[in-house]
Structure 1
Amino acid sequence: MAKVEIYTKFTCPYCYRAKALLKQKGVDPEEISVDLGGPKKQEMIQRANGRMTVPQIFINGKHVGGCDDLFELDGAGKLDELLAA
């Protein structure tokens, strides 16, 4: 199973949607909270090529984007492929 990391904020509905989809796929992602900003938020921005919104999702270290991007991958039938790697 792939290693999935997701940067989140507690009040973010898109974070909950993304985590629900991952859970449905049998994935328990490593959740990294950026509620308080700081070094983890800076790390997220750097890893996500300047994107500042949450969630930001990484599969096996590769940036796949946010919630909409995750659902787009799933709709195109590519998410299961990534998660199986």
Structure 2
Amino acid sequence: MKKVVMYATGYCPYCSRAEALLKQRGVEQIEKILIDQDPAQRDVMMQRTGRRTVPQIYIGEDHVGGCDDLYALDRAGKLVPLLAA
């Protein structure tokens, strides 16, 4: 299973929803980068993704996007193959 990295904040309902879906799909470990606790990481996230909102999710080297993007990927049947590839 590919490594999953999620830029998040301490309390973010969309981050929690994304994490719950990933766990339902078999992800056991998510590397969370909390941008509210480490403001320098917010700049890194914005440079990597071009986005300001959390969550921002990477599966391996692929930028999936945010929570809605993750759910859309799952509905399209593409999340599990991406995790496994």
Aligned length: 84
TM-score with structure 1 setting the length: 0.93
In the other structure, the counterpart of 1:41 is 42
Cα shift at 1:36:
3.6
TM-score with structure 2 setting the length: 0.93
Separation of aligned partners in 2, 1:19 and 1:12: 11
Matches within 5 A, 1:61-72: 61-72=61-72
Instruction: Give me the identity figure in percent.
Output: 58
The amino acid that maps onto 1:39 is A
1:14-69 CA distances to partner (integer Å, 9 max, x unpaired)? 00000000111121211110114521111111111x20000000011211100000
In the other structure, the counterpart of 1:30 is 31
Unaligned runs of 5+ in 2: none
Unaligned runs of 5+ in 1: none
1:62-85 CA distances to partner (integer Å, 9 max, x unpaired)? 111000000000000000010001
Separation of aligned partners in 2, 1:70 and 1:57: 8
